[in-house]
Amino acid sequence: MKSVALLSLVVICGMGGLGQKLKPKKRSNGEEINFRTKAKDVCTMTVSGDEEMKLRIECKNQGKSYWCEFTGKPSVCRPFRKNPKIYWNQIAMELRKLPHACESTQVLKATMCQKAPTDAVMKQLTAGMEPEDLANQDKLVQKTSASTKEAGKSSVKKIGKPPVLPLIKPTQHGQGSANETEAMKLAREHCWESLHGFCSYIIGIFRG
């Protein structure tokens, strides 16, 4: 009886181990795959989800950074259920052939799931730039505005204040008019009315 019970225990353990081997391998959520695009963008691919999976891609190159997200149900593909690691590596290989990981394609297919239903295809859900790039654009606009203001100040300095006009001194013509008035006054005092003009002329010559 002991031998039969021992044999039964061995068979049960063996079946349990076999069942564990037949379970599909799963890639843990949040695991990352690094790759470079054709344009040398340094990218990181992160996988999350269970039945419906999400693929997030983040890339950087020469001060620019962008990201995008794909979603799909690769679990409907039988080869994926057997070895999801190979599936994601094939996706990364396809991305390496592209110049831009987010703009160059809207769908991602693994060669091992070419005959799988369309739900297995990873379709792009959203994309965008990182906030730091938007901040750099704002800094560039502010720098341009500051340069424009400095150029305006320089122009004002070059124009300067308007020149001060010199005061105009009284001319000899003004002095002559004063002499003529004085001559006419004397002519009115000492000459007849009909000779005022003549007397004023003579007096003006002498007062010269």
> For 127-171, what is each residue's pLDDT tens digit?
998 765 555 555 555 655 555 566 555 554 555 555 555 544 444
Output the pTM of the full model. 0.52
Q: Which amino acid is at 186?
A: L
Residue 90, phi then psi, degrees to nearest 5: -70, -35
Stronger pLDDT, 187 or 23, i.e. the higher one = 187
72 contacts: CB under 8 Å, gap ≥ 6: 52, 53, 55, 108, 119, 120, 121, 122, 123
Most confident of 50-59, 140-149, 191-200: 50-59
